[in-house]
Amino acid sequence: MPSPYPDGDREKVASKLPPALQQELKVRCAELSLDIQDAVEAAVTNWRARPTPGPEIETAGSKSFSTWLPTGLYDDFKATCGERGVSYIQGLAQSIRAWLEDNPSPADANRSAEPRRIVTANQKGGVGKTSVSLGIAQSYAEHDEDGAAALRRFIESLSFGDLKRVEKTKAGLLKQLEKLTVGGQRVLVVDYDPQSHLSDQLGIPQIPPGQESLVTHMVGDPDGDLHDLIVTLDDPRFHRRLDVLPGAYDGFLLDSKLALTAAQSRGFQKEVALERALRPAEGDYDVIVIDCPPSLGLAMDAGLYYARRRRNEKKGRSGVVIPVQAEDSSATAYSMLVNQVEDLCKDLSLEIDYLGLVVNQYDSRRGFVATSSLAQWNSLGDQQVLAVLDDLKEQREAVRLKQPLLAYAPESKQANTMRMIAMGVVSE
């Protein structure tokens, strides 16, 4: 309820906010030497300017909150709440939360950076999401000098039949290699697919039905610490820097579990479930790679949300890698995934970066369909092809032996192409 400000240009507004949000606002304003009324004015103005409301905030137990806003702003705010179908308390809570995210604490500058998050996704199965996920994860985790030396030898061996083009390509790639370091990082690769191909390829047992898993943490029903589920690969090439969160059979029920939890728990946002589950472990890693299932459901929404560009994060640091094949069904599945990404961005006001395409299991001997499809992938204006992975034996052999590719065949073309994908280098 507004009342006049002594000078006439503002009015007092009485509403409610969750106590924790009130305290966070008070502390942040003190840190930034701002008046609370100015912060709330900016928060409400920015929230009204957004095309859609933000994620729902839990407002149960809200306490009285009052401040001074420019005359008429609160009436405009209430009108916006009515248009968006949210209560005044919910609208104010969303406004304050968004403002806090846009105005981080100065103390955050002294904290370690959030991990890079790479989500490997495609609606179509069998395109190589798991092999690409594992290859990227291994490339980040292996000893940086080992990976750089192998990649340098690989680049030097490139041959395209045109000497001038070869030398120009080599020079460019070697120059990029001098500036980029990939290995030596702490990596978590998450087997997010209930089929658990990633876990199986490494000889890690799938989590049986009904046991503690990523699923129980996502739906807010954990019995223990997420760290207890993580398995470290004990291969000397990775110096215990590569961890795996195994797949769980209960993942087949994840979509329905998320929908049920959202229906039963006020304030539960389905899209945030994966991020909320992994948050306790994020501080342990430099890179987190998510191997997504071939799905367009709620689980995929949560995976794509996890790939979004966070506040103050550099464009292209995190995002989605899309493995495809040089055939028509991959193009259809790609279009469906892109539509899902764009809808999610629009509905929740997100920015999700496409890191690029990986054309997998390519074999030019398959003729016109393969070569013309590859040409189409290369011609996409809004996507770059990070790499073309040939259909070679080393990956299949590594899977059969349940070994990481970069440990089984570290000098192979496939291993070096994985390193180039991780570096963000566009390979030939």
- Boundary (domain end) residue, out of 67, 92, 108: 108
Most confident of 89-98, 117-126, 179-188, 414-423: 89-98
CB 273 within 8 A of CB 175: no
The answer to whether residues 290 and 416 belong to one domain is yes
Q: Which of 108, 126, 156 is the last residue of a domain?
A: 108
- Both 29 and 144 in one domain: the answer is no
The pTM of the full predicted model, rounded to 2 decimals, is 0.72
Q: Do 102 and 130 lie in a common domain?
A: no
184 shares a domain with 80: no
* Residue pLDDT, tens place only, 364-413: 666 666 677 666 766 676 778 888 888 788 988 999 999 999 999 999 98
Q: Which of 17-21, 102-106, 166-170, 359-363 has the highest mean pLDDT?
A: 17-21
pLDDT value, residue 128: 84
Same domain, 97 and 213: no
Categorize the per-residue pLDDT at 428 as very low, low, confident or very high, splitting at 50, 70 and 90. Answer: very low
Verify that 147 and 291 share a domain, yes or no.
yes
Higher pLDDT, 55 or 49: 49
Q: Is the model's pLDDT at 111 over the cut of 50?
A: no
Q: What is the DSSP code (8-state) at residue 224?
A: S
Strand pairing category for 242-245 and 231-232: antiparallel
Round to whole Å and give the CA distance between 170 and 165: 8
95 and 158, same domain (yes or no)? no
Please indicate, yes or no, whether residues 92 and 130 belong to a single structural domain of this protein.
no
Q: What is the pLDDT of residues 272-297, one digit of tens each?
A: 999 999 999 999 999 999 999 988 89
pLDDT in tens, 191-217: 999 999 999 999 999 999 989 999 999
Report the sign of the C-alpha dihedral through residues 163, 168, 169, 174, in that order.
positive
Distance CA 395, CA 392 (A): 7
Query: Number of folded domains in the chain?
Result: 2
* Beta carbons of 13 and 95 less than 8 angstroms apart: no
Q: 108, 125, 160: which is the final residue of a domain?
A: 108
Q: How many helices (H) and strands (E) does the chain have?
A: 17, 11
Q: Are 151 and 187 part of one and the same domain?
A: yes
Does residue 428 sit within a domain? Answer: no
Which has more confidence, 54 or 322?
322
Domain that holds residue 26: 3-108
**62 and 137 in one domain?**
no
Does residue 337 share a domain with residue 415?
Answer: yes
Cα separations in angstroms, 241 against 160, 231, 285, 382, 424 = 36, 11, 9, 34, 21
Average pLDDT, the chain: 85
218 domain residue, yes or no: yes
34-48, 141-155, 390-404: least confidently modelled range: 141-155
**Shared domain check, 268 and 150:** yes
> Letter for the amino acid at 50?
R
Q: Compute CA distances 428 → 265, 374, 378, whole Å.
A: 50, 12, 11
Regarding beta strands 187-191 and 242-245, do their DSSP bridges make them parallel or antiparallel, or are they unpaired? parallel
DSSP structure string for 249-284: GGGGGHHHHHHHHHHHSTT--GGGHHHHHHHHHHTT
Angle at CA of residue 375, ends 372 and 378, nearest 5°: 155
Quick one: pLDDT at residue 5? 53
Average pLDDT over residues 70-81: 94
Given a contact cutoff of 8 angstroms between Cβ atoms, the answer to whether 191 and 291 are in contact is yes
